[in-house]
Structure 1
Amino acid sequence: SYGCALGAMSIELSDNDEQSRQALNASFNAWRRMLVETLTRLRVLGVLAENADPQRLGTGLLAALQGGYVLAQNAHSSEPMAVALDMALDHIESFARS
Structure 2
Amino acid sequence: MGGCAIGSLAAQLSGQDDPTRQVFVDAFERWEAPLIACLRPDVDVTELAHLTMAAIQGGLLLAQIRRTPDQLRLALRGARAALEDALTSLP
- Asked whether the two chains share a fold, i.e. TM above 0.5, the reply is yes
Detail structure 1 runs of 4+ shifted over 3 Å in the superposition.
none
Contact 1:4–1:69 under 8 Å retained in 2? yes
1:73 aligns with 2:64: yes
Report the TM-score when normalising by structure 2: 0.85
* Structure 1 vs Structure 2 CA RMSD: 1.8
Alpha-carbon distance between aligned partners in 2 of 1:97 and 1:10, rounded to the nearest angstrom: 34
The match for 2:38 is 38
Alpha-carbon distance between aligned partners in 2 of 1:29 and 1:63, rounded to the nearest angstrom: 12
Gaps of 5+ in 2: none
The size of the alignment, in residue pairs, is 89
The match for 2:75 is 84
Gaps of 5+ in 1: 45-49
Tell me: higher relative CO, structure 1 or 2? Use CA pairs within 8 A at least 6 residues apart. Answer: 1
- Give the drift of 1:95: 2.4
Report the TM-score when normalising by structure 1: 0.79
